[in-house]
């Protein structure tokens, strides 16, 4: 292969200079130093013509909006709950008490609203659900015994394994009961310092099973009962929805009810059923929340003002009972007929009924009736290559685009891509 094979922008027999090649790619919008990297690589490979596709690949690896047509509402690979963020460059009263002018508390805004929502004495916001569990265990049970049912020693996707998180916290695991059956007598038989109940989230044990409710456990044991809810349903009554709790929610445990049943603390994610940004919430008894906040790990796990602001916005929407202001709850509430009409307006593809799922490790096995567009064959690679990238799934050899997870504002762009396919 000759050194000049391909279309060297400078022409001639010699390969272009790195700088000239990089400048020729300026229209990709990438900063010059990144273009220098791809130009250098293409020249070193003797394949100058590949520089542009290297640059495009680099651009596509950067974080960018995508159209979620998978029908999975809380898709971990797509950032779980969609969330608008206020992007103004402004200072905030993050840790300033505006009344006294003295140093304030990071828990005075989002966290206190979350406590109000769960009817808890106090709450603390950390980086994610895993951080919430880790901090609770480290602060309240480091070096001490934590009882967990063998049926709840679960792995949630992405490497969150309850026994491993527990070991990292410095707490000692005391296994209770069996995989399918755990009774109150099993918990009574151990003398633990803390009792952890974990929502099985993304799987179900069915058949010959038995487990202990939060209420029964809290009444029977001396130590605090901590419930890792994971999915973050705030209140089983769903008062933020005009039509009340939807059928697909079934028996999903909720923060407010777990605390009312006697849990000393609950932990959950901000970006699952809560519908906020990536965050973790610890809510419950003030004395225990304060101990978590004082632990040295709390500093390493605390979120910044962007996240606290987004959590505050979401909490305020719940308190106003305005579920339609929370993108997740707005999307799950759209009637199938409306989705079907949107699918028909796409012109391309066949209008189909399909099923969306909540995802995010919440409510396994329950589907939400939906509608979308189907194309023959597997077209997912072409759709991902579109601008904006469209993420769809293949069902029985057909590509299905579920419109429940697509923002109506993206319908025009989607229709254009579908017609062009
Ligand atoms: C999702 C989940 C977690 C982890 O939460 P992240 O926000 O993903 O860190 C922990 N526990 C349970 C039960 C979960 O469902």
* Domains observed in the chain: 21-62 (no CATH), 67-82+334-420 (3.90.1150.180), 106-325 (3.40.640.10)
- Residue 138 token pair: 């480290």
As a whole number of angstroms, the distance between CA 398 and CA 377 comes to: 5
Query: What spacing in Å lies between the alpha carbon of 52 and ligand 1's midpoint?
Result: 40
- To test the ligand 1 pocket, which listed residue (78, 159, 162, 228) has its Cβ within 8 A of the most ligand atoms? 228
Cα–Cα distance for residue pair 34/22, rounded to 1 Å: 9
Torsion of CA 132, 134, 140, 141, to 10 degrees: 150
Give the closest residue (by CA) to ligand 1 atom 8: 129
Cis amide leading into 388 (omega within 30): yes
CA–centroid distance, residue 175 to ligand 1 (Å) = 20
pLDDT score recorded for residue 365: 65
DSSP assignments along 195-213, one per residue: EEEE--TT----SS-B---
**pLDDT greater at residue 357 or residue 205:** 357
What is the rounded CA–CA span in Å between residue 366 and residue 357? 7
Pocket test for ligand 1, best of 361, 362, 364 (most atoms within 8 A of CB): 361
Q: Which of 126, 135, 160 to mutate to test the pocket of ligand 1 (most atoms within 8 A of CB)?
A: 160
- Output the six-digit token pair for 300: 């390493």
Average pLDDT, the chain: 93
How many CA atoms are closer than 13 Å to the CA of 262, on its beta-carbon side? 17
> Which pLDDT band holds residue 85 (cuts at 50, 70, 90)?
confident
Among protein residues, the one with the nearest Cα to ligand 1's atom 1 is 230
User: Could you give the C-alpha distances from 235 to 25, 108, 203, 257, 411, in angstroms and in order?
Assistant: 53, 22, 22, 7, 32
For the cut 80, the answer to whether the pLDDT of residue 3 exceeds it is no
Residue nearest atom 13 in ligand 1 by C-alpha distance = 230
Per the DSSP assignment, residues forming a β-bridge with 371 are: 353
- Residue 340 above 50 pLDDT? yes
Residue 203 has pLDDT above 80, yes or no: no
For residue 126, the cross-strand partners are 280
The CA-to-CA distance between both ends of the chain, in Å, stands at: 35
Question: Has residue 191 got a pLDDT over 70?
Answer: yes
- Nearest partner of 238 among 229, 225, 249, 230, judged by Cα: 249
Q: Which of 151, 201, 232 to mutate to test the pocket of ligand 1 (most atoms within 8 A of CB)?
A: 201
DSSP characters for 227-257? EEEES-B--TT-TTSTT-S-GGGTT--BHHH
Percent of the chain exceeding pLDDT 70 equals 95
The token duo for 164 is 């491993």
> What are the tens digits of pLDDT across the range 65-82?
999 999 999 999 999 999
DSSP type of residue 268: E
If DSSP states are collapsed to H, E and C, what string results for 339-354?
A: HHHHHHCCCCCEEEEE
Closest C-alpha among 360, 365, 355 to residue 203: 365
DSSP per-residue codes, 298-347: HHHH---HHHHHHHHHHHHHHHTT-GGGSHHHHHHHS-HHHHHHHHHTT-
Phi, psi of 194, rounded to the nearest 5 degrees: -150, 145
Q: Rounded to whole angstroms, how far apart are CA atoms 415 and 346?
A: 5
Q: 280: Cβ below 6 Å to ligand 1?
A: yes
Task: Note whether 43 and 15 are within 8 A (CB).
Answer: yes
59 phi and psi angles, rounded to 5 deg: -60, -40
pTM beyond 0.85: the answer is yes
Cα-to-centroid distance, 317 and ligand 1 (Å): 23
Q: For the ranges 44-58, 156-170, 361-375, 404-418, which has the lowest average pLDDT?
A: 361-375
Question: SS3 for 372?
Answer: strand
pLDDT on residue 363: 66
Calculate how far, in angstroms, residue 418's C-alpha sits from the geometric centre of ligand 1. Answer: 36
User: What is the reported pLDDT for 7?
Assistant: 46
276 lines ligand 1 (CB under 6 A): no
> 135-179, pLDDT tens digit by residue?
999 999 999 999 999 999 998 877 789 999 999 999 999 999 999
Cα angle 152-76-349, degrees, rounded to a multiple of 5: 125
Tell me what the mean pLDDT of segment 106-132 comes to: 96
Q: How far is CA 108 from CA 115, 290, 312, in A?
A: 10, 13, 10
What pLDDT, on a 0 to 100 scale, did the predictor assign at position 38?
97
């Amino acid at each position: 292969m000759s050194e000049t094979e391909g279309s060297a922008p400078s022409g001639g027999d010699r390969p272009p200079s790195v700088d000239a090649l990089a400048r020729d790619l300026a229209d990709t919008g990438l900063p010059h130093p990144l273009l220098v990297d791809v130009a250098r690589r293409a020249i070193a490979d003797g394949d100058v013509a590949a520089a542009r596709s290297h640059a495009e690949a680099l651009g596509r690896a950067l974080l960018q909006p995508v159209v979620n047509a998978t029908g999975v509402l809380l898709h971990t690979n797509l950032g779980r709950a969609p969330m608008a963020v206020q992007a103004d460059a402004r200072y905030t009263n993050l840790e300033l008490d505006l009344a006294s002018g003295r140093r304030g508390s990071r828990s005075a805004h989002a966290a206190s609203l979350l406590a109000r929502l769960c009817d808890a004495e106090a709450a603390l916001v950390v980086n994610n659900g895993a951080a919430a569990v880790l901090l609770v265990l480290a602060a309240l049970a480091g070096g001490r015994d934590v009882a967990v049912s063998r049926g709840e020693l679960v792995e949630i996707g992405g490497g969150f394994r309850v026994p491993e998180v527990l070991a990292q916290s410095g707490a000692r695991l005391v296994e209770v009961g069996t995989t399918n059956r755990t009774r109150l007598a099993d918990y009574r038989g151990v003398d633990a310092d803390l009792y952890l109940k974990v929502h099985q989230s993304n799987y179900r044990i069915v058949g010959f099973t038995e487990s202990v409710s939060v209420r029964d456990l809290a009444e029977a044991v001396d130590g605090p009962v901590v419930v890792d809810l994971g999915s973050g349903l705030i209140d089983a009554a769903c008062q933020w929805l005009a039509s009340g709790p939807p059928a697909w929610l079934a028996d999903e445990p909720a923060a407010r009810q777990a605390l009312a049943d006697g849990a000393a603390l609950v932990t959950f994610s901000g970006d699952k059923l809560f519908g906020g940004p990536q965050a973790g919430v610890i809510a419950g008894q003030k004395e225990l929340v304060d101990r978590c906040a004082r632990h040295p790990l709390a500093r390493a796990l605390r979120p910044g003002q962007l996240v606290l602001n987004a959590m505050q916005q979401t909490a305020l929407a719940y308190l106003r009972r305005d579920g339609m202001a929370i993108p997740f709850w707005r999307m799950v509430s759209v009637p199938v007929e409306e989705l079907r009409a949107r699918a028909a307006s796409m012109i391309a593809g066949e209008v189909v009924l399909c099923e969306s799922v909540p995802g995010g490790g919440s409510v396994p096995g329950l589907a939400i009736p939906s509608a979308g567009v189907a194309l023959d064959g597997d077209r997912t690679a072409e759709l991902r290559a579109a601008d904006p990238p469209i993420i769809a799934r293949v069902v029985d050899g057909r590509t299905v685009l579920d419109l429940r997870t697509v923002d109506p504002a993206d319908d025009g762009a989607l229709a254009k891509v579908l017609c062009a396919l």
